[in-house]
A and B are shown apart, each in its own frame.
Chain A
Amino acid sequence: MRAALFPGLRGQGAFADRVAAIAIKTSAFLAIISLILIFVFIGKEALPLLTSAEVQAEASLSRLFLPQSPRPGTATEYTWQPISETPKYSLMPLFAGTLKVTIIAVLIAVPLAVAAALYTSEFAPPWVRETIKPCIEILAGIPSVVIGFFCLMVIAGWLHDAFGWTYRLNALTAGIGLSLAVIPIVYTVSEDAFSAVPQAFREGSVAMGASMWQTASRVVLPAAMPGILAACVLGFGRAIGETMIVLMASGNAAVLSWSPVDSVRTFSATIAAELGEVVQASPHYHVLFFLGAFLFVMTFTINLAGRWFVNRLQKKLQGAA
């Protein structure tokens, strides 16, 4: 249209304008493409578990999920021993390990981070707010390998001296380290949720004679609930995929137990520890990509759920305000 209004423009900028538009649209499209590529290329390497008879002879789905007896006649068990004469690929010990560490991390991180977010948004004087926010940003910026290092070298030592558990590196040590990585995201999302609650809610509550704590706990907290749920969900997603901390601090023994002070091995740590030495295109290789595909689908779903909660919060507060 502009070219019609200003005929002189046709030669000068119209061509560059068209080229730029195509380049920019392509770039934006690449974000979608790369997400699809991740899914396709990890799925592609995981697929032989379902399709290839050769791979299934060693690692079929029933071998991954159901109890197996190592030799005919012996009792059935769940064992992850991919490198042995008869490789065993039961995912159950890894699943239990992942769940244990993740739950411990979330149980530590969520109460701390949500309470801290409530404090900063409702009670804190401005200077405290200006102190804790950079602190959280610093925590979010610490590379996970550094947290893993700290866990292994320092926290594990402290806990061992204090309680003397059999395993120096265990699910609890890793969970504590992991909570350091989860706190920033839970804090940020819940702080956003608290500050999204309209000021009128608080004023109304205080006008009815409620104290500050009553306002915070009975008005602000319920109003921000979808946001808090989103924070928990996104924190869980962060914890389940985190690799370096659990790889360094969990002890990496694929043991099936419910004790929080046994060594554990998680999905992510298994990939990180074994992909380096695996024979390419072996059943073991495909199982590792299967674990990756599982993590991808899991975090993808979790993130969608998290976003859904955030959108609900926005709708709810828009409708109310």
Chain B
Amino acid sequence: MMERTKLVGGICQALTALACLIIIAMVVIVIGNIVIHGVERFSWEFLSQAPREGMKEGGIFPAIFGTAALVILMTIAVIPLGVATAIYLHEYAPKRSRMVHLVRLAIQNLAGVPAIVFGLFGVGFFIEFVGRGMDRVLYGGRPLWGQPAILWAALTMALLTLPTVVVATEEALRAIPQGYREVAYSLGATRWQMIRRVILPQAVGGILTGAILAVSRGSGEVAPVMFTGAAYFLPELPTRLHHQFMEMGYHVYVMTTQSPDIEATKPVLYTTVMVLLMLTFALNFTAIMIRAQIRKRLRYGR
């Protein structure tokens, strides 16, 4: 009897280990396959040249440029907003107040809204409502802002990444010992002086983590930008906020699903996917490193 219990227990335990192995194997297979096929075409020219001959040759520079422009605009929008929200939750609002509860609920739910719904919102709010409204009031109805544009795509993406920034910043705020705040107050600092001179410098790591994670998310997400500003192919780089732009993720999507000759574009496609994957990894890895540092301080710093 005892022996059988032991055996069953051992088998079940082994099964849970197997589940771990399967997940790790999945990750290795996905990444391995993409890197093996993608590395062939990879070169400096691939990163620095525009596509040629119907995407069969050349590189993806315009897509890299567009993605970079998108995430920079997004960061400019989301960082002040996200950091301020986290500061409000952790430094301003009375703990357990109704307002804190509501803001937290909103952030949590915002994190769960599907990306495609953000895309719909971008179309319905930014393009149709704000953009068209601006055209009507400022340009006498000439369509300038009331169409897909990099600004609208960036703002839509900022909304999508807001929870990431808030959560990361809050974690950093929690890691700052309470004594720092008390000392600042005891020296006669106002709340804002305390936040600007003591809290923010201490929280830079967390804010950076949030920014990097947001950039990583933003550079890979396609659904929110496919109707708000991304274009498949543009001969020129976007230089104004109302221009459309090329995005790496969208590029992958269109090349995969709408290429007339998938076998011919496959090598370029694989390399594009690899670049996208490596970019998000590098970003995530940096963020994880910084966060580990913060967590260490949270554990030992007090």
Contacts and interface: CB of A to CB of B under 8 A. Distances in A.
Interface of A: 2, 6, 9, 13-14, 16-17, 19-21, 23-25, 27-32, 34-35, 37-38, 41-42, 44-45, 111-113, 115-116, 118-120, 122-124, 128, 131-132, 134-139, 141-150, 152-154, 180, 183, 187, 211-214, 216-217, 234, 237-238, 240-244, 247-248, 268, 271-272, 275-276, 280, 288-289, 292, 295-296, 299-300, 302-304, 306-307
A6 B188 contact: yes
Contacts of B26: 139, 180, 183
17 contacts: A6-B188, A25-B92, A38-B113, A42-B124, A122-B16, A123-B16, A139-B26, A145-B249, A213-B13, A240-B114, A241-B113, A272-B223, A275-B120, A296-B113, A299-B112, A300-B113, A302-B112
A309 to B, nearest CB: 13
A150 B30 contact: yes
A25 to B, nearest CB: 6
Dominant secondary structure at the A interface? helix
Contacts of A238: 112
Given A240-B114, A296-B114, 20 more contacts: A13-B190, A21-B191, A25-B88, A25-B92, A38-B125, A42-B120, A115-B19, A135-B27, A136-B23, A144-B221, A145-B249, A149-B269, A180-B26, A180-B30, A234-B112, A238-B112, A247-B257, A292-B120, A295-B116, A303-B112
B264 interface: no
A145 B220 contact: yes
Contact of B195 (A20, A28, A242): A20
A268 B249 CA distance: 17
B180 interface: no
B175 to A, nearest CB: 19
B257 to A, nearest CB: 6
A177 to B, nearest CB: 10
A35 B117 CA distance: 11
A149 B103 contact: no
Dominant secondary structure at the B interface? helix
Given A141-B281, A211-B9, A241-B116, A31 B121 contact: no
B88 A276 contact: no
B237 to A, nearest CB: 22
Nearest to B112: A303
A16 B162 CA distance: 26
A195 to B, nearest CB: 14
Contacts of A142: 30, 220, 277, 280
B114 A28 contact: no
Contacts of A123: 13, 16-17
Contacts of A247: 253, 257
Contacts of B139: none
Contact of B253 (A17, A148, A183): A148
B85 A30 contact: yes
Interface of B: 5-6, 8-10, 12-13, 15-20, 22-24, 26-27, 30-31, 33-34, 80-81, 84-85, 87-89, 92-93, 99, 102-103, 105-121, 123-125, 128-129, 159, 162, 166, 185, 188-193, 195-196, 216, 219-223, 226-227, 249-250, 252-253, 256-257, 266, 269, 273, 276-277, 280-281, 284, 288
A118 B14 CA distance: 11
A21 B92 contact: yes
Given A6-B188, A214-B5, A300-B113, A17 B277 contact: no
A2 B124 contact: no
A289 B258 CA distance: 25
Q: List 7 tightest A-B contacts by C-beta distance, closest first.
A: A241-B114, A143-B220, A213-B9, A27-B84, A115-B19, A28-B88, A119-B16
B20 A124 contact: yes
Contacts of B193: 13, 16-17
B121 A38 contact: yes
A187 B17 CA distance: 14
A147 B30 contact: yes
A146 B89 contact: no
A24 B222 contact: no
A44 B111 CA distance: 22
Contacts of A28: 84-85, 88-89, 92-93, 99, 103
B255 to A, nearest CB: 9
A118 B20 CA distance: 10
A304 B108 CA distance: 9
Contacts of B257: 152, 247-248
B93 to A, nearest CB: 8
Contacts of A300: 109, 112-113
Given A212-B9, A237-B112, A243-B115, A31 B124 contact: no
B242 to A, nearest CB: 18
A146 B34 contact: yes
Contacts of B119: 271-272, 275
Q: Which of A28, A147, A217, A280 counts the most chain B CB atoms within 10 A?
A: A28
Contacts of A145: 220, 222, 249-250, 252-253, 276
